[in-house]
Structure 1
Amino acid sequence: MIRFIIADLRKYWIGSAVVVLIVALAVALGVAVTLQERALRLGSARAADKFDLVIGAAGSENQLVLSSVFLQASPLPLMDGAVLAKLAADPRVAWAAPIGFGDSFEGYPIVGTTTVLVANLADGLAEGKVFTQEGEAVIGANVDLALGDEIKPMHGTMEEGGQTHTELAYHVSGRLKPTGTAWDRAILVPIQAVWHIHGMGHEEHEHKNEAGKAPEADHDEHQHHGESHADAPLDEHWDADVPGLPAILVKPKTIADAYKLRQEYRADATVAVFPGEVLTRLYATLGDAKRVLFAVAAGSQVLVAASLLLVTVMHVGQRRRQIGALRAFGAPRHALFAIVWLELFALVLVGIALGFALGYAAARAISNLVSEGSGVSMPVGFSGEDMTFLIVLTLFAALISALPAILAYRQSPAAALRA
């Protein structure tokens, strides 16, 4: 029986290949949609796990998370810098790291921050050391630079017609270990350097002069008016005169502290969010899109099943003489049923297997493209849900394959030979 089926498939190999391809493409669409949606959900959740609480100026919570956690370029309103000083002195806060953005270098975002964030963002440095001066920078794991390379920050991006800053050039002092987040493609620099080259912080300088304190050195005057010196030491002690900030990443000491801080800073001037909660709302939107895409995939599979039935019924009709001859030579009905059923079932099974492989390859390719652009690692893999889908497809294939086999089983040999 097996030799007969193999010989029959070889004889009608073009039609067999078409059946396999149709099934594979239909299955691949559903598999790719499922795997890619799951990869996006898991990748973004892992990226958000690095940050417990984000505080920013009152505005869009979604944009605050996308800009501060996923480093998606978008202007954010600035909140009063005194918020940072208050958080730094709060006993409920393990650490609070300000971030400032707006500059870039060769497509990589430059993020102004502090040494405390560098120390807590990844599991240490892969090489080099944390920045200790204004002219030093720590790069993410996926930034294509080497230690000692020069970085000339550009305000905005080249596509937006950005202009290169001439006040300061950073030099790479260290590289972070991989985090699987957008920060793997970021360049981290001292936030005070970002303030200085953008002309921020001069209010603090003038305030100190009015209080009767002379500037420490002549170059300090230039720092507060848009000039910075690469060898200037870092000062990460915050007071009420800190310049405005787009966001502050906060690590509360306990879960209870996290909820209290979020409630306290959800005020008229500020907003505090858990990135995970914001992502949950975004997942709901993605879930709606997934259902639509999966409905399209299911619809295509129904059409494929209908076309397969039509093709196989026509195929059985064209082979009535062959089936009649087999019956005339003594082939039992159950043997004919088994031949027709096994032949079609084998083709559909091959198509399903090929569809899973194609769907997985498509999801991996899409995830790689997304990861290259965003830096967020997108894990693609099968789960128990996919195995359930495979079992259901296999049972459905067995049922579909049985219908033309029943036609062959019921066919009269005398009528078939007269056809």
Structure 2
Amino acid sequence: MSPFRISWKNIWSKPLNAALNILLIAFGTAILTVLLLASTQIEDKLTKNSKDIDLVVGAKGSPLQLILSSIYYIDFPTGNIPMNEAKKLMRNPFVKKAVPLALGDNYNGVRIVGTDSNYISLYGLKIQEGKFWKADMEATIGANVAHAQQLKVGDTFFGGHGLTEMNDQHKDHAYKVVGILTPQQNVTDNLILTGIGSVWRMHGDEHAEDTHDHDQEREYTSLLIQYRSPMAVAMFPMMVNQTTNMQAASPAQESTRLFSLIGVGVDTLQWFALLIMLIAAVSVFVNLYNSLKERRYDLAIMRTLGASKTKLFSLIILEGLILTVIGAIIGVAFGHGILHLIGTYQESSQAKMSGLIFIKEEFYLLGAGLMIGVLAAIIPAIQAYRSNISKILAEN
């Protein structure tokens, strides 16, 4: 009989003990898997969606709220800013590119973003089908939006006031889908893009194309800004915050702050998962140690039949490895399932998690399972190696 089959039979000679050990290892591994996948995906989304944006300018309020609403579209805007004042900032020598945003509407929970052609180059958008919006009430939609809302080029739809619900629909004006974006693997996959004039028209400005008479009244929600020179990093935000009624928020700083806040909870859960893994290791050790005491005579018989000390040592180590590897594999699979279930019930498409993503760091979890198995089995294995055959047989 092969060493693996012998170890397998020894493990399941006490199924409840084996199941408990596997369950403990699986539970700890599942928590670590969920945390690892979630933190990786959050960090990836934060990086991808803000990588070419140096600053966001908007109404006074929470800088983090401004970033979340204008880049990640998972919060309410801090307010609006006068278009005339915003245009002065857009012409500032420190500014290389400024992209205006007009928010406030949705379609079945999907954000409708009013902007201009600079948004296309900012995110490197490409068309999969149709074309980019040009005239008012034309819309180019993200790939995920087209799939989830069953929209195609030529379809029309009505927007609703607000950012999450369709209680107050603007049925006087219908958007027409003129294009579908190529999947970008960023926030734009989940947006409906249109001209700023469309958003103004939806909110009562019937003369949105007139860019002169109504400038004093028109507003943007925020500006996405790219700097022209490194000097702007120190000078421009301070100028905006101190000399205007607007605020400037750095995506890099606020994203770091957000991730550090999330990290506090993540670190706590990680320590909890590691504690469970430690308990699992102790449980495996106790199980193997007690099993060894009960099987001393069987092991001595094996020695008399020709089994070497090394073979006995390897059998015990193999038992520890089998227990922990099975637990680790189940835990990783369970972790993916939990995260996918969480993602299914997430309301925000922008922050949606997926359990179908696999990362190389998960191999470290499997490696940790192997290490736990070896460490838990090493003392019982050494005892099996050093066992005195004559004494054991004489006692029995």
- Shorter-normalised TM-score: what interval? 0.7 to 0.9
Q: Which residue of 2 aligns with 1:341?
A: 317
1:149 aligns with 2:124: no
CA gap of 1:177–1:322, structure 2 versus 1, over 3 A, is same
Q: Which residue of 1 aligns with 2:70?
A: 68
SS in 1 for 2:180: strand
Write the distance in 2 (CA, Å) between the matches of 1:62 and 1:347.
46
> CA offsets, 1:102-140, max 9 Å, x none?
211122111122233234333332222222221211112
Whether the 8 Å CA contact 1:80–1:244 is kept in 2: the answer is yes
CA gap of 1:75–1:46, structure 2 versus 1, over 3 A, is closer
Deviates more, 1:312-321 or 1:295-304: 312-321
Q: Which residue of 2 aligns with 1:303?
A: 279
1:4-403 matched pairs, under 5 angstroms: 4-10=3-9, 12-13=11-12, 15=14, 18=19, 19-144=21-146, 145-156=151-162, 159=165, 162-199=167-204, 223=206, 234=209, 241=216, 243-267=218-242, 269-329=245-305, 331-356=307-332, 358-359=334-335, 373-374=349-350, 380-383=357-360, 391=367, 393-403=369-379
What is the TM-score with the length of structure 1 in the denominator?
0.80
Gaps of 5+ in 2: none
Q: Which residue of 2 aligns with 1:216?
A: none
Write the distance in 2 (CA, Å) between the matches of 1:163 and 1:351.
51
Write the distance in 2 (CA, Å) between the matches of 1:310 and 1:304.
10
Whether the 8 Å CA contact 2:110–2:164 is kept in 1: the answer is no
Q: How many residues align?
A: 386
Write the distance in 2 (CA, Å) between the matches of 1:15 and 1:32.
30
Write the distance in 2 (CA, Å) between the matches of 1:277 and 1:236.
35
Letter in 2 for 1:43: K
The root-mean-square deviation of aligned C-alpha atoms, in Å, is 3.2
Deviation at 1:65, TM superposition (A): 0.5
Deviation at 1:324, TM superposition (A): 3.0
What is the TM-score with the length of structure 2 in the denominator?
0.84
Whether the 8 Å CA contact 1:180–1:375 is kept in 2: the answer is no
> CA offsets, 1:181-231, max 9 Å, x none?
22221111221222233135xxxxxxxxxxxxxxxxxxxxxx15xxx7xxx
- Identity across aligned pairs (percent)? 26
Deviation at 1:279, TM superposition (A): 0.3
Gaps of 5+ in 1: 201-222, 229-233
Deviation at 1:177, TM superposition (A): 2.5
Deviation at 1:242, TM superposition (A): 5.1
Write the distance in 2 (CA, Å) between the matches of 1:252 and 1:8.
64
Write the distance in 1 (CA, Å) between the matches of 2:191 and 2:213.
24
Write the distance in 1 (CA, Å) between the matches of 2:350 and 2:13.
43
Letter in 2 for 1:186: L
Deviates more, 1:369-378 or 1:64-73: 369-378
Asked which structure has the greater CA Rg, the reply is 1
